Chain A
């Protein structure tokens, strides 16, 4: 007998004897446990993985911000140095005159 035939036969036979317990299950008086849901929300703590991910993300943002601002910082310092050098040069040329 082929696999498919065997499985088809098994399925047909088991399905034919499947009981219907829907009505019995639905009519049973059941009180869903509601407190557990509240406890989950109150006691929920971020997982260790979530904490590390957040810390890593903050570090990356800080690094990129610093890298973006670096040209401005360097540019300002170079500009200041240039201004001081030019002032000194002009002073010395005035003296020579």
Chain B
């Protein structure tokens, strides 16, 4: 994670440099996608949320305080957008999609994107554990950085991470 580089690019965006946005995107896309996927648990929704996040970042760029943690700022926006969308979807759809797959498969084109390990992780892990594992494995954040971004104690993050791996390995062993 290159915090200084990201900070520079965000400051340049505040001064109206659109070319800096490409660098911001390249530095943060993995983290944003991991966060979206872990909360909404659906590829299509995660893609939508990712796009909404970056539009929001461009819109609210002047709210970023220079020389602070740019990753935490962007991922906080991502988390809040995803949680709002998830709550909205929960209110609209009461049906459990996992139990009633046959009702949606005809129009659901995203089934092909359900990868085996991610599908297993979705079933076995809770939201926090899934977020921590994806951010560590996919985005390459260290545990200390994840604790800072999620605003949780480092001990909690480490415990959740180890617990998540144990659950995954146990489930893989059982399968």
Contacts and interface: CB of A to CB of B under 8 A. Distances in A.
Interface of A: 1, 3, 6-11, 13-19, 21-22, 24-26, 28, 30-34, 36-37
Interface SS of chain B: helix, strand, loop or mixed? Answer: helix
Nearest to B37: A14
Interface SS of chain A: helix, strand, loop or mixed? Answer: helix
B75 to A, nearest CB: 16
Contact of B21 (A1, A9, A26): A26
Given A18-B29, A21-B47, A25-B25, A13 B115 contact: yes
B117 A17 contact: no
A32 B58 contact: yes
A39 B55 CA distance: 23
B30 A18 contact: yes
A36 B14 CA distance: 12
Contact of B113 (A9, A17, A22): A17
B134 interface: yes
9 contacts: A6-B165, A7-B136, A8-B137, A10-B137, A13-B115, A14-B115, A22-B54, A30-B58, A32-B59
B115 A28 contact: no
Interface residues of B, number: 38
Contacts of A33: 59-60, 62-63
B172 interface: yes
A30 B51 contact: no
A41 B113 CA distance: 47
B34 interface: yes
Interface in B154-175: 165, 168-169, 172
Interface string B128-143: 0000011011100000
Contact of A25 (B55, B63, B118): B55
Contacts of B116: 13
Given A14-B134, A14-B138, 18 more contacts: A6-B117, A6-B172, A10-B137, A11-B137, A13-B116, A14-B118, A15-B30, A17-B113, A18-B29, A21-B54, A24-B51, A25-B58, A32-B58, A32-B60, A32-B62, A33-B59, A36-B63, A37-B14
